[in-house]
Structure 1
Amino acid sequence: MTLNDQLRHLPKFLTVREVADFTFCHDRTVRRWIRSGTLSALETPEGLRIPRRELRRFLGLQEAS
């Protein structure tokens, strides 16, 4: 399964923990990326959510046409 295939199976909006698990890093690292502006996130009543398309951009992958 390719990275693009794996991304396609993720929810449309991911939690910090889900992004950390997917990128094999710590939650604090993901929060650092968000604070620095490297990774965009949305503030929701349930907490920070990272759009799947933003994770794709962050990882340097292009959307399939």
Structure 2
Amino acid sequence: MAEYWVFDIKKTKITAFKIIASNGSQRINVSEILPGLAISLLEEGLQRSRQMDNTEVGSWFLRQVQAPAG
């Protein structure tokens, strides 16, 4: 299992792909390497980093990934 992410820092956009067996790739919205991690959550973190310091963004991110699903 392998995937790669393309970051557009100016637009705070992340495009993620998984590598597929037929020597291609397929776009994904949730990481398979980091199970359950939504790419949109990373994008939101990038957006927040424009208005908050790194400590605040890090704390926010940890709260998001530790929150119970549902």
TM-score by length of 1: 0.24
Q: Which has the larger radius of gyration?
A: 2
Quick check: which one's strand share is greater? 2
Higher relative contact order (CA 8 A, sep 6+): 1
Quick check: which one's helix share is greater? 1
TM-score by length of 2: 0.23
